[in-house]
Amino acid sequence: MSIGGGIGSLMQGVASGYGAVAQSDRDALIQKLLLERDAQPASPVDGGATPASSQATPIASGTGSTGGGLTQAALYDHFVNRGATRNEAAMLSGMAVAESNLNPNVVHDKGTGFGLWGHRNERRDAMFKFAGTNKPSWQQQADFALQELRSRPESARVNSARNPNELTIAGMRYERPRGYTDANPAAGDNFSGRQNYIAGAFGRSQSAPSRSVAAAASSKKPDALDLMNELLPQPRGISR
């Protein structure tokens, strides 16, 4: 329905329900509301990742050095977009925060390790070979980490984890930080910190749907009839 002749015929049909309001006043007010509506940005629709401000469980935002800073949410989403399971994305993104504070260029362990996960020696060299450079981007490091995880026995433990504690233990077996032993994975360096970062992403993976129907509905802009119902008194309802 247009705001020109169409709105006039609509108003004639509902005039008795809305009362004696001048046609020109109605048109002017509705035009004003439509202009104000179109000037406002639409509400964001969740296309696979819930904005960080709306997370039920917050995801860490490490600083990093990738221009405005890599965040755990961005890393998590990268993994999901690459086909990672939610558990894989939660574990790998949480471990990256713990290992490097999301700085993809950090050097570890007196030069023997590099990057987001601190890959050392043969693992570091394999990552460099995979990326074709000794300064791989965070995206290249992430793609290597996912590929490497899936080639190792820890992958099954990661994907079978039912809660953040189990997922962190699986992640410790993958990272094998200082103090880790097979008999006592929780003795590894910063176990509780790693668990907190993984729990944030795990909570997100459980609570955030791939697309929010509610968000999609809230982003709908009102049409002329919606605006009229809001603008004018309505002694008896008008159905569509």
pLDDT, averaged per 10 consecutive residues of the chain (240 residues), comes to 51 47 63 63 38 39 52 96 96 95 90 89 93 95 96 95 96 92 93 94 64 40 54 48
Taken as a whole, the chain contains a residue count of 240
| Residue whose pair of structure tokens reads 């969740």 in the numeric block | 46
Distance CA 152, CA 198 (A): 20
* pLDDT confidence of residue 164: 96
* pLDDT confidence of residue 235: 47
Residues 6+ apart with CB under 8 A from 36: none
Nearest to 164 by CA among 34, 53, 59, 40: 59
Distance CA 3, CA 34 (A): 9
Find out whether 174 and 152 touch, Cβ atoms under 8 Å. Answer: yes
Q: What is the pLDDT of residues 217-227, one digit of tens each?
A: 444 555 555 55
* pLDDT confidence of residue 69: 87
* pLDDT confidence of residue 213: 34
pTM higher than 0.75 for the full model? no
Task: DSSP letter for 41, please.
Answer: P
* pLDDT confidence of residue 110: 80
* pLDDT confidence of residue 120: 83
Find out whether 167 and 202 touch, Cβ atoms under 8 Å. Answer: yes
Distance CA 220, CA 39 (A): 14
Residues 6+ apart with CB under 8 A from 149: 88, 92, 155, 158, 174
